[in-house]
Structure 1
Amino acid sequence: MAAKNLPKVFFDVAVNGTPKGRMTFKLFADTVPKTAENFRALCTGEKGIGKSGKALTYKNSAFHRIIPGFMAQGGDFTLGDGRGGESIYGHKFNDENFTLKHQGKGILSMANAGPNTNGSQFFITFDSTPWLDGNHTVFGQITDGKDVLDLLEQYGTQSGRPTAKIEIVDSGELKE
Structure 2
Amino acid sequence: MRIRSYVPSDAPALGEIFVASVREIGSRDYSPEQVAVWGGEGQHAARAVGERLGVKMADGRRCWVAVDDADAPVAFVDLEADGHIDLLYAAPEAVGTGAAGLLLDALEAAAREAGMTRLYVEASEAARRFFLKCGFAVDHRRDFEVDGVPIHNYAMSRTL
What range is the shorter-chain TM-score in?
Answer: under 0.3
Q: TM-score, normalised by structure 2?
A: 0.25
Q: TM-score, normalised by structure 1?
A: 0.24
Q: Which has the higher contact order (CA 8 A, sep 6+)?
A: 1
